Structure 1
Amino acid sequence: MSGTPMHSVSVAGVVVDLRGRILLIQRRDNQHWEPPGGVLELGETFDEGVRREVLEETGITVDVERLTGAYKNLPRGIVALVFRCRPVDGEPVATDESVSVQWVDPQEALVRMAPAYAVRVADALGDHAEFRAHDGVNVLS
């Protein structure tokens, strides 16, 4: 069907350790701080995608616990599904996609990120899944 809008689906993991710290990456391409994540591959389940992306970007193996939110970047047509995760193995290490990987206090995490990404961490610390739209930087009401 011609004229049908195309969307991209991505997944991200808000990884919370036993001390309550959040795992963040500083992206190599734009230097922004975000939870690790990326495009879901064809034939890949949501949890497989989250585990792969977190490992590729941080060196940390995770268990995926639950969906915490769905977010749409309206200008770019990207739908992101965000999951709360817990670390299982590994140490944070910079990769081809991340210039820095750090465990940070939740409040510090929120101030490092653009609002459209900070809300994902805040939502992951809550009790139920949220859904929101944003413009790539700011959450839209």
Structure 2
Amino acid sequence: MNTTAPRHSVSVAATIVDSQGRILAVQRRDNARWEPPGGVLELGESIDHGLRREVEEETGLLIEPEALTGVYKNMRLGIVALVFRCRITGGVSRTSDETSRLRWMTPDEVRQNMAEAYAVRVLDALNDGPPAIRAHDGRILLHA
């Protein structure tokens, strides 16, 4: 095995939709950007456990993943993100050391407030089709 080979990081994110069709977004403390809740998996951590852990850490909410809705690669940083449509099963919403605000957004508000690379993840999760597979540079989509 080549130990000098480039490595990828794997992150997970949850698209949580309420009964009114609004999506839960978090505003990050470090850069004030709006994103779906989620984060980087720890080495040896399962995808399911990491998703639940990240959402609870950032929002205080307990969730149940319902479907994988997309796979996204940040080509500049080598981060592969797995996005899941989820439902809330418990907990109490709150901010955290990583999040300064939580907000329920309409799809139009998602388009207006999130960078394209994040908005597309949320909007793809609203579809019932097969998971989307996309690449981006951290802000905008890259088209083949």
TM-score by length of 2: 0.93
Q: Distance in 2 between matches of 1:138 and 1:28?
A: 21
Bigger mean CA offset, 1-10 vs 115-124: 1-10
Q: What is residue 15 of structure 1 aligned with on the other side?
A: 16
Q: Distance in 2 between matches of 1:92 and 1:110?
A: 23
Identity %: 57
Question: Is 1:72 paired with 2:76?
Answer: no
Question: Is 1:102 paired with 2:103?
Answer: yes
Q: Match for 1:117: what amino acid?
A: Y
Provide runs of 4+ in structure 1 moved above 6 Å. none
Offset of residue 90 of structure 1: 2.7
Q: Distance in 2 between matches of 1:93 and 1:60?
A: 8
Whether the 8 Å contact between 1:110 and 1:121 is mirrored in structure 2 is no
Offset of residue 104 of structure 1: 1.8
Q: What is residue 118 of structure 1 aligned with on the other side?
A: 119
Superposed, which structure 2 residues align to 1:1-141 within 5 Å? 1-127=2-128, 128-141=130-143
**Structure 2, unpaired ranges of 5+:** none
Structure 1 residues 26-51: Cα deviation after superposition (integer angstroms, max 9, x where no partner): 00000000001111112222111111
Q: Distance in 1 between matches of 2:53 and 2:26?
A: 15
Bigger mean CA offset, 75-84 vs 101-110: 101-110
**Structure 1, unpaired ranges of 5+:** none
Q: Distance in 2 between matches of 1:118 and 1:125?
A: 11
Offset of residue 122 of structure 1: 0.9
Residue correspondences, number:
141
Q: Distance in 2 between matches of 1:102 and 1:120?
A: 17
Q: Distance in 2 between matches of 1:31 and 1:131?
A: 27
Q: Distance in 1 between matches of 2:45 and 2:55?
A: 14
Q: Match for 2:58: what amino acid?
A: E
Offset of residue 18 of structure 1: 2.1
Structure 1 residues 77-132: Cα deviation after superposition (integer angstroms, max 9, x where no partner): 10101111011123321110000011222221221100000000111001220010
Q: Match for 1:15: what amino acid?
A: I
CA RMSD, Structure 1 to Structure 2 (Å): 1.1
Q: Distance in 1 between matches of 2:93 and 2:22?
A: 13
